A and B are shown apart, each in its own frame.
Chain A
Amino acid sequence: METVTSKQKEYLEQPKERISGSEAIVRCLLAEGVEVLYGYPGGAIMPVYDELYKYEGKINHVLTRHEQCAAHAAQGYARISGKVGVAMATSGPGATNLITGIADAQIDSTPIVCITGQVPSHLLGSDAFQETDIVGISTPVTKWNHQITKASQIPEVIARAFYIARSGRPGPVLIDITKDAQFEEFDFQYKKCTGVRSYKPVPEIDENSITAAATLINSAKKPMIVWGQGVILGKAEEELKAVIEKTGIPSAWTILGASAIPTAHPLNVGMVGMHGNYAPNVLTNECDVLIAIGMRFDDRVTGKLDEYATQAKIVHFEIDPAEIDKNVKTDVAVLGDAKASLKKLVSLLNTNSHPDWLQKFKDLYTIEYDKVIKNDLHPTAKGLTMGEVLKEINSQTKGEAAIVTDVGQHQMIACRYADFNVSKSNITSGGLGTMGFALPAAIGAKMAAPEREVVAIIGDGGYQMTIQELGTIFQNKVPVKIVVLNNEFLGMVRQWQQLFFDKRYASTEMVNPNFVAIAQGYYIEAKKVTKRENLAAAVKEMIASDEPYFLEVCVEKENNVFPMVPSGASVSEIRLE
C-alpha cells in the first residue's frame, strides 16, 4: 500500500473550504503527494500557474523548454521512483505537444498524469484561439482521459486520474480543464480514490493456474524465463529472484525488464530481442517451457511470430488480460499481480538446477563474445566504440548508475553492456522508440532520485531533438551527466541502409554543430573526447562532478550493432555479423 506523508495529510479529507478551481487543482496535487511537476504555461492554464506561484515552496514546478519534454520528464520521474509523474500544459499547441510523451507512456506503461488547460466552456467547439480537441486527440494513447467544465468536478476527477494512472497496469491519464472551471469557486474537499466500479486493475489469481504453471515448470528439462517491466512495475524483483534461484532457470529480460535482476547474477543470461544476446534468442527456439513474466511478446522480442518458441509450452504471468494470447498463444496463463503470483508460485516449485542447459547459454555466450562483444568492449581498431564508453561508465559508476537512453544504436549498446546492480536503473523509450526521450527523462529521473547517479546516453541525432532542455538543466541545476555518442549519423537507420538498402545513406548523415560550445552556452561544463587514451579521464571527471556535465565522445562512424535479428526473421536466425 501507498504511504501517506504528513504533508499529504494537510490536504487530505480536510473540512470543506471555498476556493477556486485552480487552487483546488494545486491542492489535489499536494494531496496526492506531488512534489514536482513539469510544464509550460499559457493562456488557458494561467489561473493554475498563478496558484503554483502562491504555493511556491510547497510544490515545485519545473519549466521545461517544450511541452513534449514536460511529459518525458514526468516519465523519467515515474520510471525511477515508481511514483506518478505530472506534466502540465496550456490548451492547443501546449496540449498537442504533450502527445508524444503520452503515447510513449502508454506503450511503456508509465504512470503519468497530464493536466491541460482548455478554452472556457462556452467557447468549446467554436474554433477559439488555442482550442484543440485534446480529449479526442489523446483518446487512443491514454489509459483514461476526461474533460472538466465545472470546478466541483475537480477533486473527484483528479483523484480518479491518479488512481487509474498508478493502479494495475499503469499508464498515462490526461485531464483537460476549461478556464472557467479554473476560475469558478466551490466548496473543496479532497478524498483519495480507492476504486472505480467499471475498472478492475488487478485480476484475482486463479490458484489452479499457479498449480498448472508450477507443474509445467517442475517437469521442464530446458526451461527459460523471459521477464519484462511487469516485474519492476509490480515490485516483484525479490520474488523473481527467489523463483530463479530455487529452480536454477536461465533467465533473460526484455529491454524494459533490464535491471530487475542484477546484470552479474549467474542465472541472468541477457537480453532477448532484435539486438539482444545470442544465447537467449537462439535458445528461445530450443527451450521446452518458456516462462514469460510481465512482458508482452512485442514484435521486437519475438521476431517472426510463426517461428517463435513453437516447440515450447508457454506460461504467461501477466496483469493485463488483453495481453494473454495477443501475440503468442499460451498454454498456461496466470493473470494477476507479478509479486503475489510469484510468491505463490515459488512455494510450489521444486529446488532444481539445469547445469547442462545453462552450459548451452554459456557456450553461445562465448561465441557472441568472440564475434561481437570482444570487439565492442576491447576494440583493436583505432576508432572508439560505443561499447567501450559503456564499459568505462560501468567501471567508474560500479554499476550503480541509472542509465537513461534515447533511441537507436547507442540505446541497444547501452542496454546490452550497462551493468545494473539496482532495479529501475534502465530508463529508455522501448515501445514507442521516441528519439529525444533521454535528455528530458534524465531530468525527471535525477529530480526524483537525487541520491542516484543519472547518466543520459544519447546519440547525436536524438540529442538534437530535445537539446533545448539544456536550458531546463541549467536553470534548475539538475546534475545529470550527459554523454553524447557522436557518430555523425542516424546510426541505426544507417545500419539498416547498409544491410538492407545497398548502402544508400538517404538523409542519415549529420553535419553536427559544436556540441561542447552549445553546452557551454548554457553554462554547463563540457568536454569532447576523440581518442581512446583520453576516455577514462574524461568519464572520471564527469562522474566526479557534482554539477550537470556534458561529455561528447566521437565514436567510429559506421559501426554496426550486432547480434541482430533481421526484421521478419526468426529469433534463432540471429546474425552475429
Chain B
Amino acid sequence: MGTEKQLYTISIYTENNIGLLNRISAIFQRRHINIESINTSVSEIEGVSRFTILVSMTEDQIKKILGQIEKQVEVIKAYYHNEEDTIYQESCLFKIKSDLLFEERQIQNIIKESNARIVTVNKEFFVLEKSGRRSELEQLHRELSAFGIMQFVRSGRIAITKDKLKITEMLNAFKN
C-alpha cells in the first residue's frame, strides 16, 4: 500500500500573498517531482486562495509532500484526494478556421456530439470551448486534429471535494 504511483489532486487553502506560489512549487522542484497541472484562484472564503495541483506520485510520497506544504507559514490547510473523492474538470479552447465550419459537415456533428460550445465566430476563425474530463477533451482534440487546429490550450484541473473541508471553522477557531 502507498507505494504505487497514481494521480492525486492536492487542494491547498492559503493566504493570498506574493511569493507563495514560488514557495509551494519549490517544494516539488526540490524533490524532482513534475507538476502535471497547477491552478490558483480565489476560494469560497474572502481573502483565501485555493491551489489545485495535479501530480502523479505514491501515497507515501504525497503524505510527506503535504507535510512540507502545510509547514509553510501562509498555508492554512492542504489536502490530497483520489479521483473518486472529487468532482473535477479541465477546460480547453480550440481556434479553428471558419471555412471548415461550412465546408466540413462532420465538424458540426462533432461539436454537437461533444457538447462543446462555440464562444465566438468571425470570418476567419471560430473558437470552441469544452469542459470536462481529460479523456473527453482529448477525444475532441483527436477528432478536430484531422481538420487542422490553429491554436489549442487546455487549463489545469480544478476540483471540488465530495467531503466537507472545514476551512472556515479552522479560521474561526483562530479568532477565538
Contacts and interface: CB of A to CB of B under 8 A. Distances in A.
B126 to A, nearest CB: 38
Contacts of B15: 197-198
Given A320-B71, A321-B67, A197 B22 contact: no
A196 interface: yes
A197 B174 contact: yes
B19 A197 contact: no
Given A139-B26, A140-B30, A322 B74 contact: no
Interface string A298-327: 000000000000000000000011111110
A135 B64 CA distance: 25
Interface string A118-154: 0000000000000000011001100111110000000
Nearest to B18: A147
A199 interface: yes
A322 B71 contact: yes
Interface string B1-32: 00000000000001100110011001000100
A292 interface: no
A198 B75 contact: yes
Contact of A199 (B23, B63, B68, B73): B73
Contact of B67 (A136, A139, A146, A322): A322
B74 A326 contact: no
B171 interface: yes
A164 B30 CA distance: 23
A195 interface: yes
B76 interface: yes
B70 interface: yes
Nearest to B67: A322
A324 B67 contact: yes
Contacts of A139: 19, 22-23, 26
Interface in B122-176: 171, 174-175
Nearest to A169: B71
Interface in A58-101: none
Q: How large is the interface on A (under 10, 10 to 19, 20 to 34, 35 or more residues)?
A: 20 to 34
A140 B27 CA distance: 8
B174 to A, nearest CB: 4
Contacts, number: 48
Q: Which of B22, B30, B68 has the largest number of chain A CB atoms within 10 A?
A: B22
A325 B19 contact: no
Contacts of B174: 195, 197
A321 B77 CA distance: 13
Contacts of A195: 174
Contacts of A196: 73
Given A139-B26, A198-B15, A322 B70 contact: yes
A146 B19 CA distance: 8
Interface in B44-97: 63-64, 67-68, 70-71, 73-76
Contacts of B175: 197
B26 A164 contact: no
A199 B17 CA distance: 14
Q: Which of A144, A195, A197 has the largest number of chain B CB atoms within 10 A?
A: A197
Contacts of A146: 19
A233 to B, nearest CB: 16
Given A139-B26, A144-B73, A164-B73, A325 B171 contact: no
A236 B73 CA distance: 25
B158 to A, nearest CB: 22
Contacts of A199: 73-74
Nearest to B170: A197
A197 B63 contact: no
A323 to B, nearest CB: 8
A145 B74 CA distance: 10
Contacts of A326: 64, 67
Which 9 pairs of residues, A with B, have the shortest CB-CB distance? A322-B67, A197-B174, A198-B76, A144-B73, A199-B73, A322-B71, A140-B26, A198-B74, A198-B15
Interface of A: 135-136, 139-140, 143-147, 164, 195-199, 320-326
27 contacts: A136-B22, A139-B19, A139-B23, A139-B26, A140-B23, A140-B26, A140-B30, A144-B73, A144-B74, A145-B19, A146-B19, A147-B18, A164-B73, A195-B174, A196-B73, A197-B15, A197-B76, A197-B171, A199-B73, A199-B74, A321-B67, A321-B71, A322-B71, A323-B67, A324-B67, A325-B64, A326-B67
